[in-house]
Amino acid sequence: MSASLLAEVWWNLHMEDIYKVYPNNPPHYFLANAMYLITGSTLYKQPFLRLDSFKDFFLRTLFQRANLLGWVLQAWAVLHNHYHFIAQAPEDASSLPTLIRQLHSITAIEFNRRNSSPGRQIWYNYWDTCLTYEKAYLARLHYVHMNPVKHGLVQDAIHYPFCSYRWFMEQGDADLKVLVFEQPIDRVKIMDDF
């Protein structure tokens, strides 16, 4: 069997597991143990998470669902109308749509229950990026930690309880902190016009 035929057979057997194409959406790469940046937005950028209790519920649901599906959170920021998180995928990285579907469903039902608005759409969409370069990963960690500052919610991210900055500063590896915070974030391309 020729090398090109072997490559084609491998592609046909394996790529459908890691490269998913969905109608009307960009393709998604699902790589085991890879780092992913996920951004989600509310419908019409409405501030459905304006109340701290809603942000807290969202985070608790994110931690629970990620843990159940084997996703290891690295950084997170939850704001009034969007969120970002970075997580390491489990062996079955194709569980990402399940994670987001459960996160959005559980939080939407609870937010609507609290506001007496059953059936209202809360979430618009989410975007995922597989981070394949170390500097891209480090810069995005920096970006997510500093997101509440970027959006003017606080002057110092240490004072924002719905992002991972404080956790990272208290529990992160000293060498990793240096690597993360020396990465410039002014040219990082992330969906974040919220």
Q: Is the dihedral of CA 157, 158, 163, 169 positive or negative?
A: positive
Nearest to 88 by CA among 67, 74, 103: 74
Burial class (CB in 10 A: 0-12, 13-18, 19+), 93: buried
pLDDT at 180: 97
Q: How far is CA 42 from CA 66, 86, 104, 120, in A?
A: 20, 18, 10, 12
Nearest to 59 by CA among 45, 47, 73: 73
Taking the C-alpha atoms of residue 163 and residue 147, their distance in angstroms, rounded to an integer, is 8
pLDDT at 23: 59
Taking the C-alpha atoms of residue 31 and residue 4, their distance in angstroms, rounded to an integer, is 23
**Which domains, ranges and CATH numbers included, belong to the chain?**
1-30 (no CATH), 31-181 (3.30.70.1290)
pLDDT at 25: 60
pLDDT at 116: 95
Is beta strand 35-42 parallel, antiparallel or unpaired with respect to 82-88?
antiparallel
Say which residue the tokens 């990620």 belong to: 66
Compute mean pLDDT per 10 residues along the chain, 194 residues long, and list them. Answer: 53 49 65 96 97 98 98 98 98 95 98 96 95 95 97 96 98 95 90 77
pLDDT at 192: 80
